[in-house]
């Protein structure tokens, strides 16, 4: 099962969830992340937090969602937005009509430098709870209706 996690900048929240889903999913899902207006680099706070929590951080990069609309790109089963801006933007056409859902989280990169460590910790904790809740179900075998309902419920996990 392929999951694309979208956010505007693809530097923090989407990166965190990409790593969490890949690590906690233990091969059951393959997560990717991208942004509508990628920052061009992963926020150091996101990389540091992932390393502290012993999640893979190698190879993570800020990239455009255009990469996933190109010929030969992986076909997505689900697209999850993690920020308010991305949720209100028009998503491009995804081959195979993936299930879409929103797991909004405040942007830790937008916090003041003094507040960023706590903001990253809070965003990580919320995204981890959601990833664990999602992966507690047989997501890779669910039909699209069940998957959409689950993604919607998980998006409400605080």
Q: Where are the domains of the chain?
A: 2-154
Q: Please tell me the predicted confidence (pLDDT) of residue 95.
A: 62
Fold of 2-154: Rossmann fold (3.40.50)
pLDDT of 91 reads 53
130, pLDDT greater than 70: yes
Strand partners, 35: 7, 64
Residue 13 has pLDDT above 70, yes or no: yes
Query: Which pLDDT tens digit goes with each residue over 28-82?
Result: 999 999 998 899 999 999 999 999 999 999 999 999 999 998 899 999 999 999 9
Mean pLDDT lowest for which of 4-8, 73-77, 96-100, 118-122? 96-100
């Amino acid at each position: 099962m392929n999951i694309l996690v979208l956010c505007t900048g693809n530097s923090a929240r989407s990166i965190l969830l990409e790593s969490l889903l890949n690590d906690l999913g233990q091969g059951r899902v393959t997560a990717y992340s991208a942004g509508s207006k990628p920052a061009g680099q992963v926020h150091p706070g996101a990389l540091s937090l992932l390393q502290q929590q012993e999640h893979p951080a190698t190879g993570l990069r800020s990239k455009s969602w255009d990469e996933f609309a190109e010929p030969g790109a992986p076909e997505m089963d689900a697209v999850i937005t993690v920020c308010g801006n991305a949720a209100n933007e028009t998503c491009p056409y995804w081959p195979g009509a993936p299930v879409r859902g929103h797991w909004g989280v405040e942007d830790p990169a937008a916090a003041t430098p003094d507040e960023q460590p706590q903001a990253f910790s809070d965003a990580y904790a919320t995204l981890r709870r959601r990833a664990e809740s999602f992966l507690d179900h047989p997501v890779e075998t669910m039909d699209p209706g069940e998957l959409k309902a689950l993604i919607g419920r998980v998006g409400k996990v605080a």
